[in-house]
Amino acid sequence: MNKILEGIQKFFFNEATWIALGKTSLKIVVILLLTGILVKVGGRVIEKVFLMRQRSPLAYSERRQNTLLKLIQNILTYVVYFTAIITILSTLGINVAGLLAGAGILGLAVGFGAQSLVKDVITGFFIVFEDQFAVGDQVQIGQAIGAVEEIGLRTTKVKSYTGELHIIPNGNIAEVINYSIHNSLALIDVSVSYESDIPVVEKLIEGYLKDLSIKYEELVKDPVLLGVQTLAASEIVLRVVAETKPMQQHGVARNIRRDLKEFLEENDIEIPYPKMVVYQSK
């Protein structure tokens, strides 16, 4: 018992012990401070590099740049923190080489049981570097339809327009419909009565559609009247096609329908609607 007390007393009242402990603590604090600085400065440097890339005369895709920016910043964070942990362990006198060798063997064993995780990571890399879709794109992945919130190494997050957040493992993504790459088409059907003079109506609508792209910036070019689409039981349906910027077709279609309704009324062109005729027998 006395030997134990003497050992404790020597440890706590040994000047060399406290000096070594202070040096070790100071090294750990410095490592943590440098880690935080490297993560912040590295993130800012990456942002600056991508901003310079935007000003380049070469082809630039904002959606792809945003995705790569977040991915590279995440990788930088993981690498810096992993290096910091290894450095701190080495400072504490732990055999890092032996620990890494043991971790490698353990990782190999775990790898056989984590094939789905490896599949998720590999698929995530291919999604980014093949530019299948990017952050901000409107996509459909299985039953999930919405905007891509985040593309990680393991999962992809899609937020639907009603607010639900779908978290999808990358390895489960078999087919993707991307609505944001190419321009969209708005289809507007206009109904007129059989009594209407179709050539006159077509000429009026064509005149209205001319220069409409100036009014709506979502339009890529002026809409086109295709002609008679359907001969229904009580109406003639004319179809208008408008090319819009990606995912703007629904709003444009609603605005053009509203304006066309007012335009036809101003020109005394009847828009048919169901009517009930009652005959009274004598």
- Is the pTM of the predicted complex or chain greater than 0.75? no
pLDDT for residue 37 is more than 60: yes
Higher confidence at residue 35 or residue 73? 35
pLDDT of 59 = 46
- Burial-class residue 152 by CB neighbours within 10 Å (0-12, 13-18, 19+): middle
> What is the location of CATH 2.30.30.60 in the chain?
132-178
- Tell the CATH topology of 2-113: Helix Hairpins (1.10.287)
pLDDT of 58 = 42
pLDDT of 197 = 87
d(CA 131, CA 66): 11
Q: Which of 189, 207, 191, 200 is nearest to 270 (CA)?
A: 191
Q: What is the pLDDT of residues 62-85, one digit of tens each?
A: 666 776 777 777 778 878 888 888
> What is the location of CATH 3.30.70.100 in the chain?
184-266
d(CA 258, CA 281): 41
> What is the location of CATH 1.10.287.1260 in the chain?
2-113
Higher confidence at residue 180 or residue 165? 165
d(CA 29, CA 35): 10
Interaxial angle between packed helices 249-266 and 198-209, expressed in degrees from 0 to 180 and rounded to the nearest 10: 130
- What percentage of the chain reaches a pLDDT higher than 90? 7
Mean pLDDT (the chain, rounded): 79
- Tell the CATH topology of 184-266: Alpha-Beta Plaits (3.30.70)
- Tell the CATH topology of 132-178: SH3 type barrels. (2.30.30)
What is the mean pLDDT of the segment spanning 130-138? 82
- The distance from CA 172 to its chain's CA centroid, rounded to whole angstroms, is 17
281: three-class secondary structure by DSSP = coil
Stretch (H or E) spanning 222 = none
pLDDT for residue 98 is more than 70: no
